[in-house]
Every structure is written in C-alpha cells, then in structure tokens.
Structure 1
Amino acid sequence: MRCRYSVVAACILASFTTVAEESIERLEVQGDFRRLSVQNIAGSIAVVSEQDMERNSAQHLDDVLRQLANVNFAAGASRARFVQVRGIGERSEFIDVINPSVGVLIDGIDYSGLGISSIAHAEQLEVFRGPEATRFGTNAMAGMLNLSSKQPGFQREGALSASLANYNSWQLSGMLSDALSEQLAYSLTLDKQASDGFIENTHLGRKDTNDIDELTARTRLLFRQSDASQWQLIGHFIEQNNGYDAFSLDKNRTTLSDEPGQDRLRSKALALRNDYSGFVGADLMWQLSWLSADSDYSFDEDWAFVGIRPGWEYSAFDRYQRTREQWTLDYRLVSDEQGRLVDATDWVLGFYVSGRDLTLQRDRRSGSRLRAFDNRLQRDNLAAYGETSTPISAQTTLVVGGRIERYQDEYRDSGGISIDQSHTMWGGKISLNFQASDQAMIYTLLSRGYKVGGVNGEALSRAGDDGLEALLQQATFKPETLVNAEFGVKGVAADGSLVTRVAVFHMWRDDMQVKGWLNPDLGPEFAGFIDNAGRGRNYGLEMENRIVLHPSFTLHLNAGLLKSKLGPYITQSELDMTGRDQAHAPRFTYQLAGDWFLTDQLTLQASVQGKSSFYYSDGHNAKSESSELVNLRLSYQLEHWQFALWLRNAFDQDYGVRGFFFGNDPRDEYAPHTYQQWGEPRRIGLSASYQF
C-alpha cells in the first residue's frame, strides 16, 4: 500500500481492519478514572505486566524502567528513587523538600519521593507519560507511575519464588490470594531481598558496604457488602536497611571510605476504599489513606580515609534523618449509563484533600566542626477536578478535563527562618479521539500540568559560609507549569500479529525548576539549591510494538526519540546553559526483545536495552556514556513449576546512573573530575517458582 506523508495516520489505521473479538488486546489501565483498555485511552501509557517484568528477570523498579521509551532514572542512593519521563524529573533530595515531576502511587497511596521498593508478584505497573494533572494533580507534571498489587480473588491462587545470584544475592517472595467467606477475600505478598552489592571497599577490606537488605509486605482485604457496595482495606510495610558507599575517587567500583553510609527506610501505610454503585446515575468511589515513613540517609562525604594525603585531605560525614506523616482523601462520582448528560456525555466530578508533615534533621561533621540543621514543612493541598467525554459522531469523542488545586506551606527551620507560601494552580486536558474500529484509534491531545514551588533550605542554611553569600538570593523557588501537545495512533492488526502505539509530542515548560550549585573554587565545599530557568522545550516521539513473526517467535520493540532544551539560564558559576539539553534526558532510548518458544516447555528470551549519553545536571556539563545492555533468560515450564537461568548486563558494561563534577580527591589537589555512580554489573542467577 502506497501512502502519502499527509495521510500516514489514515494508512496506519487502514491496516487494522475488523477482527474477531478474541484478538483484541486486553491490557486495562487501572489508574485512570475508568478501567479501559490501554488501546482506547488518549495519551502515551505503558502497561507493564508481571510477564513483561519476568522477561528481563526484573527484581526491582530499575530493571523495569530500562524497558520503556523516554524513561530514565537517577540513583544517588542504594536504589533508584527518582524517575524522569520525557527528560523531566528530579534527581535527588537532600535538604530541600522537592515536589516530584513524576509521582509514584502504590495501590492508590502516594509514595512520591520514596520510590517503589519491590515489584515482586505485582499485578501491573502503569507509566503515564506527559502531564496528568486532571487525574493526579501536582505530582504528575511530567507523568506518573502507578503500581497495583495483586487483587484479592475468591479462588485460591498462590506463588512461591526463590532466586540465587552472584554478589551473594538472594530473593525469596510469595503471594497468596483466597476467600475467607462468600463475601470476604484477601491477597498477601511478601518479598525479601539481600545482596552484598557491587562495591569493594579496599580500605576496610569489605565487599558489603553498599549492600541490599529489604523486606516488603503488601496486603489487601476485600469485603463484598452487597451487589452495589464493596470495601477494601489495604496495608503496606517496608523495611529497608541498605548500605550506601557508591562513589569512588578512582572512578571504578572500589571505594576508600572509612565511614560508609546507609540508606534506611521504614514505612507503614493503610488505606480504606469503598466502591458504591447504588446511586441512580453515578457510581461513588472514595479512598482514605495514611502513610508514615522514617528514613536515614548518610554518606562519607570525602569518599576517603584519614591519612590518604596529609596536609591536603579533609574528612566529612553527612547524615539526613527524615520523618513523613501524610494522609489523603480522594472522593469522586463517575457517571453511569443513566447519569449521562445531553448527547450521552459521560462525566467525572471529584475532590481531593491531603496533609503532609515533613521533618529533617541534618548532621554534618567536617573535621572537628559539627553542624546541625533541622527544618519542618507542613503542606496542605485541596483540589477539585472534573472530566467529560462527549461523542460528537459515531466514531469521534471529545474529552475535556480540568483540575484546580491550592497548596499552603508552612516552613520553619533551626536558623530562625519562617516562610509561609500558598499558591493556586490549574491543569487540564482536551483530547479528540477518533475510533476507526474496535482495534484502531487516533487521537490529538492538549494538556497542561504543574508542580508546586518551595523553599531552598540548603541555601538558607549555608548562606553565611564564606563564598556562599549569593545563596541569600535563593530562599525560594516558583511553581513550574508545562503544556503538552500530542498526536498518537494505537492499533491491533487484523490477525493479532501486531500491536502498536505511537505518540509524537511537543512540551513547553515555564519557570522550569533546575538544580543549581554554588561552588566558587570547584573544591569539595559546595551548596545546592533549586532555581527557576525561564522556559524549556521537550519534544520527540515514543513507540511500543509487539510483532508475532512466527507462532514460536514474538518480537518487542520500544523506542523513544527526545530533544530537550534549557531556556535562558546562566548558573551561579557563570556557565551559560541556554539551549543545552536538559539533565537526564537521553536523546535515544530503546529495547529490542524477543521471545522464542523452543518447545512447549522451553523458552529463550533475549533483550538489548540502549540509551544514548545524557547530561547529569543542569548546573554542569558532565555526561554519561551511551549504554547497550544485553539480557538473557532461559526458562523451563512444568505444570506448576518454572525454572529459569538468567543473565542481566551479560557483557558487563559500565554505565552511569548518577554523576557529579567537582574536586574531591586530595591526591591531585582537588582537581575537578566527573564522578559517577555505576549501575548494575553483570548478574547471573537461577530462579525457581511454584504456582498453585
């Protein structure tokens, strides 16, 4: 079929002709207002099933995110906790309280800034790309991660899994779902992971200073009160006792720290949810949640030992202890068939309220000098939102949504600084969806997202230091807004041999928040702050394809192209970053994967995950190298058992997941270098699972 450029979309749609009902892909998005197929929702959404996670023997969120187009992450701790979507997202949190551009929900509970601790036996992970203010508010300016644990079932279902791998690593997990009565059912997931980590501390003669020790428990209790009402009680518990000793003066996986740090987290969460369909015209859903978390994050700031070079060396240790108490209430009405407005318009109307209390105790020792700093931020959010979906023809639907949100902050710190802030923000979307058939849709989308401003606690705490007086001008930073224009095509081929999703986008950022650094002599003493850099642009495309080339072979191709630009921005060190690529925004990301069913029991899966180089910061020009990671998995399936031998990063490639540019080595008189935290090296493991 020959197609002119102006009708490419029509030609794509023409290839997806009417098919039998059973061939339609059934991946449903659980995080939207209504449960719909990912093929029928406007927007670039990736749905990662448990089977997709198994393809790369994924054990943590890091392993999953590498599969996705235009998605990146930053470490700077024992695990990746900060995610970037389409080149937008934070990379760390020290003193300053940040509002993530990419939020995290687990079973509807807000874990933004804490990350996802375990993906074992998850129902699915959804990655929303682009602003989702109407649905999620301020935590979704660039996107949202939504993880769902196993839903309770009234038929017994369970699984036990165990893995052994190099670096003295092991994992043991289990899931059980069953009925307690005709009305009551539960699901329970437990996961324990441990590893020595991938660092050798040659000064201490240890290989476990960057170790992993994590326990995660998630449970759901479902009560079917009646045909019209059901309740869910959700509980989470996380205990993380990881080490943190990742940066090397020698720029490799050997460290010289005499005081290795730690990355500890202990959190508890509860949520009560009710779904009620007894009203005429609308269904009611509300969820009340509570979360309490304590974290302890510390590191050897000099990355060395006393005596490494007398006369030049310094010795410092930094520790951040945080507490977080939060509650949220999300309450909404969703129309049913009887409640539709004129022209069969479906609608959603809701409100959201939350309160968050965040405290920090920072203790820093430099030589014999001790410095203590603490602050407290109380934040209240109140929002109202709505959405309508109106058919304007048999195949075309207009969706209009919006959200208005007000936040109020009260900031207090030990330096006597007291700042109260409040701001009203709005976001929304308009999409025009053309449903060519049950298997093909084309959409155009215009959306607006936002995130709150805040207080630069680190700038305020360090403004009295010699050479850092300029930080007095960085007490606060403004909210950021983003506008996204998007065009997309989604389709399933007639015989089910091809599933494709393609999106082209252009985003405009206003008052974009960037991380700045003040470090006059590029030595070890420096201070960070959040700054506003005028405007920025991010544009590109992403696609996801599944192609059945043969009944025994399936190919998966995900790819993203991204171009990002900083607006007018000159750093405190007088570097002109105007027009440069934004931080952690690789121009090219991809995964090419294949599933080869050798026999009814034996399957070989292979993937290549690639990423181009990217800048580590908006405040300096240090860059990562490009990476191409090869993963292999050979599995053998019996009726209830599965055994798998797997390799991740088979060719042992070094690749950076966090980077800085400054001087920290007394052996070369603190000359500036690019220092990187390395990602996972070659991993080889054996897994066994039993399902019943």
Structure 2
Amino acid sequence: MLFRISALSLALSAALAVSATEAELEHITVKGDFRQQDLQRLAGSVAVLSEQDLQRQSVQHLDDALRQFANVNFAAGASRGRFLQVRGIGERSEFIDVINPSVGILIDGIDYAGLGISSLAHPEQLEIFRGPEATRFGTNALAGMVNLTSKAPTAVAEGKVNATVANYDSWQLTGVYSAPISEQLAYSLTLDQNKSAGFIKNAYLNRDDTNNLDEFTARLRLDYQALAELKLGFIAHLIDQQNGYDAFSLDRNRTTLSDEPGQDKLRSKAVAVTADYQGLALADMFTQLSYLNADSDYGFDEDWSYVGIHPWGYSYQDRYLRGREQWTLDYRLTSKTDGQLWGQTDWVVGLYASQRDLSLSRLRRAESRWRFFDSSLERRNLALYAETQSPLTDKLTLVLGGRVERYRDDYLDSGNISLRPDETLWGGKISLNYQLNQQAMLYGLLSRGYKVGGVNGEALARAGEDRFAQLAEKASFKSESLLNAEFGVKGSAADGSLTTRVAAFYMWRDDMQVKGWLNPDLGPEFAGFIDNAASGRNYGLEAETRLLLSPSTQLFVNLGYLQSKLGRYLTDSGLDMTGRDQAHAPRVNYSVGADWYLTEQLTLQAGVQGNSGFYYSDGHNAKAGSSQLLNLRLGYQLAQWELAVWLRNALDKDVGVRGFYFGNDPRDEYAPHVYEQFAEPRRFGATISYSF
C-alpha cells in the first residue's frame, strides 16, 4: 500500500510542478478514439508506441512489443502469443469453445479479435487501451483493446526497406512505400516476409525446424479525395502464416520428442471501405464497412512423444480447422467544433453492426481411432453508442458515454445440439477531466465493460460419456461484466524534457469467465469448458515516464503493479481457488529503456523488461517464474542508410509463456509436472535499412 501511495504522489507532484508556459510540446495523437485526441488530454490509461519506439527494442512481432507495456501480458499455446491479458484479464487459449476475447485487436479498424497480429512492420503506431472501453469498442474490450494503424498515404513519395539476418536461420525483409498517384489519389503499401527455423530441437526426428516461423503480411491503403468535403478510403490486408507447432517437451526444455509435430497456419484476407464526409452543417459523418475471411489449421502431437517411447506410452493427435467470415459496419456522426447542437458540448452518436460466421472441424486421433466434431456458430451484433464532452468550467470537462448492444447466436454441432442464446448488454463511462494548465491534467473515470456469454461445445460433446456426465451442467456460460474506477494524472514539462502518466484503478468483475478442465481418471483424456466464478477484484497502478536527461541521453520507464483476486470459485477437481491471484496476472512488471546518442551517427539503445511470477491457470496452481530480459541495439546512421546490430534476451533466460500441470510422460508413470512453453531464447542479428 505504501508503494502505491508513494508512486501516485510522486507522479502527481511532478505533474503539478510543471511550468504553465506556452512552449511547444511533442503531441502524440491517439488514433483509436472517436476523436483523434492528444494522449495527454485523453481520460484513460492508454499507451502508444511509434515505429521508432518499436525499433528501439528491435521488435519483429507483437510478442516482442507487449513487454514494454505496464500491466500487459500474453499467452502462447501456439506458434505466436495471440492471447492477450490486460490488468490480469484475458483468455489464454481457444480450442473447441468459441470465446469472445476480453482484449480485442483492431488493424486499420478491422476486427482481428482472436487472430492476433502477424506483423508490426512499419506501423503508423501501436496503441494499447487499458481498462473497459465498451463505449468505443463494445464487447471486444472488456479489459482493453489493441489498435494498430498502418502507414497512411502521403502527398510526397517516400519509402523504407529493411533487411534482417539473425541466428536460428532467421531472416526478414520488409518494406513500405507511399506515393501520390494524382492530386486526389495516394496509396501506401507495406510488405513483410519473416522466416525462422524456430527455437526447438526435435531429437526424435533430428530436425530443428518443427517449430518454424514462415509469415507473409501485406497491407494496402488508398486515400481518394473525391470532393472537398468527401474523402474515400480503401484498405486491403493479406496474411499467410505457415508456422510449425512443436513447443512442449516431456523433458521440460527446448528439446522435443514428437513424431507428429503440429502446425499453426492462418490465411486471412480482409478489405474495408471508408467514407469521411464533412459537408454537413452540424456534424462530420464517418462510415467503415469491412469484410474478413480467415481459415486456420492448428494442430499438435498430443502425446509429445513417439510410438515406442515406453510400454505405457500412447499416440494421440489433435487438429482444429477453423473458418471465419465476418462483415462489420461502423457508422457515426461527430459534432463539428464550430457548429454545436448543444452549446459547447462535443458529441458522437453511432451505429455498429456485425455478422460473424464461425465453423470448426476437430479431428482427433486416439491411437488408431479417429473422433470428429463439427460445429458452426452464427453471431449477430447490433449496437448503438453515444458520447458527449461538456465543459463545466474553463478547466473542468464532463465526459459521458454509453453503448447498448444486442447479440444473438445460432449454434449447431455434429451432436445435433442446437442452441440460440441471445442477450442485451450495456456499458458506458463517466469522467471528470481537470486541466490544471497547458501541461497537466487530472481525471477521475468510472467505466463499465461487458463480454458476451456462449456455448460450451466440448462439454456438450463429451457429456454423453459416463465419466464426463457432469459436463451436462456446463452447457453454456454467462456473460461477464466489469466495473472500473480509475484516477489518473498526466503531465509534461514545458520544455518537453519530462512526460509522465499515472493511473490508479480498482475493478470489480461479476460472473467472471474462467477456463476449467475435467480429467476424471487422471489419464490423457481431458475435457475443457468455460465456467463462471462468482466475482473477481483487480486493482493496481500503471506509470509511464519519458525523461530527457541531457541532449544526448533519453530515459523511458514503464511500471505496472497489479493485485488480482478470484472470488468464490471451486474447481471441478475440488481445488478451492477463492482469493487466489488470477491467471497470467503478474503483480509487478516493468520496462526500463535508454537511448544514448554517442555521436551524430552512432546510437546505443538498451532496455530491461521484467515481471514477477504468475499462475498459468485458474484451474491449477502451477506458476511461471519471474523473468528479466536485457535487450541491446547499436545503430549507425549514414545519410539514408542505417546499420544496426542487436541482441534480444541477451542473458538467454527461459521465460514461460504458457503452462500446464498434469502427467504426460509414461517414463515416470505419468507423474504430474509443470510443462511450459518458452519464449524465444537469446537472439542476435543485424538489420540494414534504406530510406528514400
């Protein structure tokens, strides 16, 4: 408690002490909000990374970037970490049951929730919204939202090409080019190809590429100024991911024994059209219509071994083929600043509609016998939202927002089970923002988020078996809601030498969704389901500071402190988890980085990122250890060229990113162990860049 009070007092004192002069400040614009506002004047805990910030840590993928954010974590269980947690809330896997992520992902306004981000090459910026953002994003933002914006088209031709080589037979080639086609039309194209043998040695097959990476991403943006008041846009994305998946080792290291290594493949195509019309007297009109089609193939060797490893061994394989087709419409009116409908009040009203068709084919082989399970889910969402900003005095502003969302599911599976759950959910926010001076703001925020419920397909499929009969009571799970109370301070020195942001929050979770597992005979047969715990509590601090120590030295410090508690919750295996920390919720995480400009051409950048240990699951007590990662980068700039050599995880630490606790090794009579998937080991490489 003393730590929390001291940290908040220090940040508040720094903000109150900054000068109130009119000096020119660096402004970071948050692109994911209704209005593109200055980060320092936006109520809420939002973190932003530019392309330069990502370059500082030699980031190649979202996994590498997330460790820079306070109170943000991720789980792998696949070739990449696409399951995100913010403030201790978020999913850790997806098998049979369709989940609605607690932390959504938008790329250029297109919904990629559950699919992840395959490339961070040449972004405009990456934003993390922490805390419920139902008014802005709806059911996909119970705990937060990740928003990635691609490079916008420019009026002058410009481009950049990066080539990287690294250990583990890795290479990456990326490029971005933007140029006008005419006075009205311009485009931006980003391409990225990333390949690596991966960081696993398969001793049985004598291969080092069974957990390989092979990812191609293309993003295109077109802007067309059709009229003085009308701007049209076109967006196209292509993702082709052909990754292997062979990550868990019976020997609990980076050496596997699988005879049937798996795969983690994704092919996704998305397009969107936008229209921004500013010809109305009272409001600007914005519309985005998007379409996404994705097919994935995820599978693994369930026994993690080979036939003949031991007389008690078994041979299972699991594979999930998913299809996803979605349409999304977002239409809104935003008041003009010079023609208000209600005095000085700014307002936004909008309509959101989506249609998502999901299909699953599960192919599971137990010894020589195949089991098949198919399901389809059609989900329809319709929402109305609104937000107002009203100045109460010249320094005090009241923000009110709300969203009402109706969803309906049509579920059907190969067991001829048909369900049609539907519900109306709501969320909103109210904040008071006090602008102390040009450089400092205080805010108090109360916000409510929600997440839809769903159907436990695996529980329904296995409930007919005698040993899984109790799963009949787990046919579905309820929606979850979250109430967040937050106080924050944001301040900047007038000369730009110091920028600080601190948020203190307390969140109440009702009917929190947790992942449960049933293993009735302690053998290789499991059944998973989503359950509802009675409640949960999450509270803590987030602090971010940038300090210019000298003209040649810059320091960055991000710190997250989190307490998370499960409410009354008894697992089906009899464990009482009441009061325990929630899964993937480290109590402390931090990122400290520095830039030293040694000469006009030579720059040294260093960063240390770490977190305390955390539980892997709400269904068992296995824990990940604490971690500390050291990253180094030395760059030399010469005109349009830059050469950089870099180290990630320089101390070669094993960092767990997914973990289970059970028995899977016949050699020790299936004694239970903590089995972990590890993040990348020490990486070193060189990158050459050319800007033109």
Aligning the two structures, in what range does the TM-score lie when normalised by the shorter sequence? Answer: over 0.9
RMSD between superposed Cα atoms in Å: 1.3
Cα separation, partners in 2 of 1:12 and 1:553, compared to 1, 3 Å: closer
Shift of residue 6 of structure 1?
11
Unaligned runs of 5+ in 1: none
- Pairing partner for 1:14 from 6, 13, 16: 16
Shift of residue 488 of structure 1?
0.2
Q: Partner of 1:452 in structure 2?
A: 452
State the alpha-carbon separation in 1 of the partners of residues 665 and 423 from structure 2: 44
What do the CA deviations read for 1:661-692 (whole angstroms, capped 9, x no partner)?
11110111111111000111000000000001
State the alpha-carbon separation in 2 of the partners of residues 343 and 349 from structure 1: 17
Cα separation, partners in 2 of 1:549 and 1:8, compared to 1, 3 Å: closer
Shift of residue 437 of structure 1?
1.5
State the alpha-carbon separation in 1 of the partners of residues 84 and 585 from structure 2: 11
Shift of residue 495 of structure 1?
2.3
Alignment of 1:49-198 (within 5 A): 49-198=50-199
Q: Partner of 1:340 in structure 2?
A: 340
Q: Partner of 1:690 in structure 2?
A: 690
Q: 1:579 corresponds to which letter in structure 2?
A: G
Equivalent position SS for 1:458: helix
State the alpha-carbon separation in 2 of the partners of residues 529 and 622 from structure 1: 19
Kindly indicate whether residue 650 of structure 2 is the aligned counterpart of residue 650 of structure 1.
yes
Shift of residue 267 of structure 1?
0.5
Q: 1:192 corresponds to which letter in structure 2?
A: Q
Q: 2:474 corresponds to which letter in structure 1?
A: Q
Alignment of 1:340-419 (within 5 A): 340-419=340-419
State the alpha-carbon separation in 2 of the partners of residues 73 and 205 from structure 1: 30
Q: 1:16 corresponds to which letter in structure 2?
A: V
Q: 1:227 corresponds to which letter in structure 2?
A: A
Q: Partner of 1:501 in structure 2?
A: 501
Cα separation, partners in 2 of 1:481 and 1:149, compared to 1, 3 Å: same
Q: Partner of 1:216 in structure 2?
A: 217
Kindly indicate whether residue 439 of structure 2 is the aligned counterpart of residue 439 of structure 1.
yes
Alignment of 1:239-388 (within 5 A): 239-310=240-311, 312-388=312-388
Q: Is residue 523–residue 672 contact of structure 1 (8 Å, CA) maintained in 2?
A: no
Q: Is residue 343–residue 391 contact of structure 1 (8 Å, CA) maintained in 2?
A: no
Cα separation, partners in 2 of 1:689 and 1:570, compared to 1, 3 Å: same
Equivalent position SS for 1:233: strand
TM-score (norm 2): 0.98
State the alpha-carbon separation in 2 of the partners of residues 157 and 437 from structure 1: 38
What do the CA deviations read for 1:403-427 (whole angstroms, capped 9, x no partner)?
0000000000001110001000000
Cα separation, partners in 2 of 1:7 and 1:578, compared to 1, 3 Å: closer
State the alpha-carbon separation in 2 of the partners of residues 679 and 465 from structure 1: 37
Q: Partner of 1:204 in structure 2?
A: 205
Q: 2:177 corresponds to which letter in structure 1?
A: L
What do the CA deviations read for 1:357-405 (whole angstroms, capped 9, x no partner)?
0000000000111100000000000000000000000000000000000
State the alpha-carbon separation in 1 of the partners of residues 335 and 463 from structure 2: 54
Q: Partner of 2:424 in structure 1?
A: 424
Q: Partner of 2:489 in structure 1?
A: 489
TM-score (norm 1): 0.98
Identity across aligned pairs (percent)? 66
Q: Is residue 11–residue 501 contact of structure 2 (8 Å, CA) maintained in 1?
A: no
Shift of residue 4 of structure 1?
11
State the alpha-carbon separation in 2 of the partners of residues 650 and 208 from structure 1: 22
What do the CA deviations read for 1:302-331 (whole angstroms, capped 9, x no partner)?
000000001x11110000000000000000
Q: Is residue 522–residue 672 contact of structure 1 (8 Å, CA) maintained in 2?
A: no
Shift of residue 342 of structure 1?
3.3
What do the CA deviations read for 1:117-149 (whole angstroms, capped 9, x no partner)?
100001100000000000000000000000000
State the alpha-carbon separation in 1 of the partners of residues 521 and 362 from structure 2: 24
State the alpha-carbon separation in 2 of the partners of residues 126 and 6 from structure 1: 23
Shift of residue 509 of structure 1?
0.2
Q: Is residue 103–residue 143 contact of structure 2 (8 Å, CA) maintained in 1?
A: yes
Q: 1:595 corresponds to which letter in structure 2?
A: D
State the alpha-carbon separation in 1 of the partners of residues 446 and 251 from structure 2: 48
Q: 2:21 corresponds to which letter in structure 1?
A: V
Q: Is residue 523–residue 671 contact of structure 1 (8 Å, CA) maintained in 2?
A: no
State the alpha-carbon separation in 2 of the partners of residues 404 and 231 from structure 1: 29
Shift of residue 10 of structure 1?
6.2
Q: Is residue 8–residue 502 contact of structure 2 (8 Å, CA) maintained in 1?
A: no
Q: Partner of 2:632 in structure 1?
A: 632
Shift of residue 638 of structure 1?
1.3
Q: Partner of 1:615 in structure 2?
A: 615
Worse overlay, 343-352 or 3-12: 3-12
State the alpha-carbon separation in 2 of the partners of residues 7 and 486 from structure 1: 15
Shift of residue 462 of structure 1?
1.6
Q: 2:419 corresponds to which letter in structure 1?
A: I
Q: Is residue 612–residue 627 contact of structure 1 (8 Å, CA) maintained in 2?
A: yes
Shift of residue 494 of structure 1?
2.6
Cα separation, partners in 2 of 1:529 and 1:4, compared to 1, 3 Å: closer
Cα separation, partners in 2 of 1:6 and 1:647, compared to 1, 3 Å: closer
State the alpha-carbon separation in 2 of the partners of residues 494 and 288 from structure 1: 42
State the alpha-carbon separation in 2 of the partners of residues 621 and 339 from structure 1: 58
Shift of residue 11 of structure 1?
3.6
Q: Is residue 524–residue 670 contact of structure 1 (8 Å, CA) maintained in 2?
A: no
Shift of residue 520 of structure 1?
2.3
Unaligned runs of 5+ in 2: none
What do the CA deviations read for 1:189-247 (whole angstroms, capped 9, x no partner)?
00000000000000000000000001000000110112211000000000000000000
Cα separation, partners in 2 of 1:499 and 1:8, compared to 1, 3 Å: closer
Q: Is residue 584–residue 615 contact of structure 1 (8 Å, CA) maintained in 2?
A: yes
Q: Is residue 15–residue 494 contact of structure 1 (8 Å, CA) maintained in 2?
A: no
Q: Is residue 280–residue 338 contact of structure 1 (8 Å, CA) maintained in 2?
A: no
Q: Partner of 1:48 in structure 2?
A: 49
Q: Partner of 1:478 in structure 2?
A: 478
Shift of residue 5 of structure 1?
11
Q: Is residue 12–residue 489 contact of structure 2 (8 Å, CA) maintained in 1?
A: no
What do the CA deviations read for 1:566-595 (whole angstroms, capped 9, x no partner)?
000000001000000000000000001110
Q: Is residue 513–residue 530 contact of structure 1 (8 Å, CA) maintained in 2?
A: yes
Q: 1:666 corresponds to which letter in structure 2?
A: P
Shift of residue 21 of structure 1?
3.8
Shift of residue 104 of structure 1?
0.1
State the alpha-carbon separation in 1 of the partners of residues 664 and 615 from structure 2: 20
Kindly indicate whether residue 583 of structure 2 is the aligned counterpart of residue 575 of structure 1.
no
Q: 1:574 corresponds to which letter in structure 2?
A: G
Cα separation, partners in 2 of 1:10 and 1:109, compared to 1, 3 Å: closer
State the alpha-carbon separation in 2 of the partners of residues 657 and 225 from structure 1: 48
Equivalent position SS for 1:164: strand
Alignment of 1:530-569 (within 5 A): 530-569=530-569
What do the CA deviations read for 1:64-117 (whole angstroms, capped 9, x no partner)?
001110000000000011100000000000000000000000000000000001
Shift of residue 20 of structure 1?
3.8
What do the CA deviations read for 1:251-270 (whole angstroms, capped 9, x no partner)?
00000000000000000000
Shift of residue 13 of structure 1?
3.3
Q: 2:288 corresponds to which letter in structure 1?
A: Q
